[in-house]
Amino acid sequence: MSLIDLTLAQARAGLRAKTFSARDLTAAHLEAITALNPTLNAFITVTPEIALAEAEAADRALAAGTAGPLAGIPLAIKDLFCTEGVRTTAASLMLETFVPPYESTVTAKLRDAGAVFVGKTNLDEFAMGSSNLTSAYGAVTNPWRRAGDDTPLVPGGSSGGSAAAVAARLALGATGTDTGGSIRQPASFCGIVGMKPSYGRCSRYGIIAFASSLDQAGPMARTVEDCAILLGAMAGFDPKDSTSADIPVPDFQAACTRGVKGLRIGVPREYAAPGMPDEIAALWHLGRDILRAAGAEIIDISLPHTEYALPTYYIVAPAEASSNLARYDGVRFGRREDGADLIEMYERTRAKGFGDEVKRRILIGTYVLSAGYYDAYYLRAQKVRSLILGDFTTAFARCDAILTPTAPSAAFAQGEKMDDPIKMYLNDIYTVPASLAGLPAMSVPVGQSQEGLPLGLQMIGRPFDEETVFAVAAEIERAAGFSARPAIRAGVSA
């Protein structure tokens, strides 16, 4: 098997057995990036020199027996994580030349574990989008193609660059961030596994903020176990993030082998809304069958406020974003467009630095927080948000995990859904409720659409019960045996 087709767990075993070196493993992935990134545009910045130096350091550590758990593993880092000395853009022109003088906690933990960073992956600008079409550095192309159709498809978003890189074998795993589905939806579109942990499980320190009460970092990889290994290294309390949870990090990898016998799996009836495509409905049924066959009990549950989740999300997230993005004013760092006075400098800087979707969300957010509208929008949204959390709390009194589709469709073509932002926002319909409730949720590839594109199922767990989510995901992964591979992947075609 070629080095780039290994799972992260296999690569780790191979490195420890000295079957190959970390340098070889990293070089193989860098070579794949060189071959495929011009097509996929998954990376904004590739850091081959740093990666090779880190790989050599990993080899020394492996030889000396001091290697960390991720020693020599090539990872792609979403370009929303600040990396010391390496340009970090958030896919925005605003930060085109921004080189952070500090490292995010999550990437620092991965580095401490010995991981090798091959580069910074593309995303929707400031993580706002579900398609990767809003990146100022060009769209990411999904490595998958519809059967018999060469139309470029979107990888989903916002962590689309990370998803495409992992799917196309440009890295063994990647970091993503998820605010309303930004890990899970691209994982589903690209046929990989993505986990959004509980809010507070991973530190947000050094991650460029979109919506602070929703943003969470999480792993993306080709197997559930690989995600569990990565999350183990990423998670943990951080005194530099006041919203980080001071609770121990369990052994996620071990949870993957627990099985689902005796678990009660909730299926929310509100998600079965009319208009769900048949192939999505069929996939969801398949998931239930798999779990039932594995000894779980499938129960019908109700999450009555589901229909309000999306509008709530599109008030809360833009509100926080409008404030979070006020710091990009041209005064201290990043882009500056000079003006005759301070106001003109602000206007010109922000007009040129931000793309349309970012501007749209800043406008929405500013509006919903304005005097006279605050109560009707922001405050009401916060109340609905607690009702949605209440729905889950009630449901979890009866079940241990919840099973839903990840996205309402397979990957769509670049250019589709561009006429109407609301249509684009509907991509998040199944992922947003868990985000609003701060719950761990994961997407696992289970099947393919009639056009041969990957489709994922989502499993949602209780707060800080990622272990059950991993157990359910691993069971579905084993039984579904998803083995299709994207058309564009390293070693195949360009």
Residue 202 sits in the site that holds other proteins (CB under 8 A): no
Query: According to CB under 8 A, which residues from 99 to 128 bind other proteins?
Result: 100-102, 104
- Pairwise CA distance, residues 127 & 410, whole Å: 20
Bridging pattern class, strands 216-221 and 441-448: unpaired
Query: According to CB under 8 A, which residues from 216 to 275 bind other proteins?
Result: 239-243
Active site residue 182: yes
Mask 63-102, x = binds other proteins (CB under 8 A)?
------------------xx-----x-x----x--x-xxx
Active site residue 443: no
Residue 376 sits in the site that holds other proteins (CB under 8 A): no
Single out the residue of 332, 419, 420, 481 in contact with other proteins (rule: CB under 8 A).
Answer: 332
Query: Based on CB atoms, which residue is closest to other proteins, 145 or 350?
Result: 350
Q: Return the closest-CA partner of residue 174 out of 107, 126, 103.
A: 107
Choose the catalytic residue: 158, 162, 203, 244.
158
Single out the residue of 10, 39, 45, 212 in contact with other proteins (rule: CB under 8 A).
Answer: 212
Choices 259-267, 329-337, 453-461, 464-472 (CB under 8 A): range interacting with other proteins: 329-337
- Tell me the two tokens of residue 193: 């596994």
Q: Which residues pair with 413 in a beta bridge?
A: 153
Least distance to other proteins, CB of residue 212, Å: 4
Residue 204 sits in the site that holds other proteins (CB under 8 A): yes
Distance of CA 355 to the CA centre of its chain: 21
Residue 374 sits in the site that holds other proteins (CB under 8 A): yes
Choose the catalytic residue: 78, 109, 120, 417.
78
Residue 45 sits in the site that holds other proteins (CB under 8 A): no
Query: Based on CB atoms, which residue is closest to other proteins, 9 or 214?
Result: 214
List, as one string, the DSSP characters of 120-171.
Answer: EE--SGGG--SSSTT-TT-PPPPS---TT----B---SSTHHHHHHHHTTS-
3-state SS assignment for residue 453: coil
Residues 6+ apart with CB under 8 A from 389: 436, 437, 438
- Pairwise CA distance, residues 127 & 321, whole Å: 10
For residues 205 and 105, the answer to whether their CB atoms sit within 8 Å is yes
- Tell me the two tokens of residue 346: 């602000």
Active site residue 323: no
The H or E element spanning position 403 is: strand 401-405
Query: Based on CB atoms, which residue is closest to other proteins, 7 or 366?
Result: 366
Single out the residue of 226, 320, 466, 477 in contact with other proteins (rule: CB under 8 A).
Answer: 320
Residue 369 sits in the site that holds other proteins (CB under 8 A): yes
Query: Based on CB atoms, which residue is closest to other proteins, 54 or 320?
Result: 320
The H or E element spanning position 265 is: strand 264-268
Single out the residue of 63, 273, 293, 342 in contact with other proteins (rule: CB under 8 A).
Answer: 342
- Tell me the two tokens of residue 149: 């159709």
Residue 155 sits in the site that holds other proteins (CB under 8 A): no
Tokens 């048949």, located at residue: 278
3-state SS assignment for residue 431: coil
Residues taking part in catalysis: 78, 158, 182
**Which residues contact other proteins by CB under 8 A?**
81-82, 88, 90, 95, 98, 100-102, 104, 204-209, 211-213, 239-243, 319-320, 322-323, 326-327, 329, 331-333, 342, 346, 366, 369-371, 374, 378
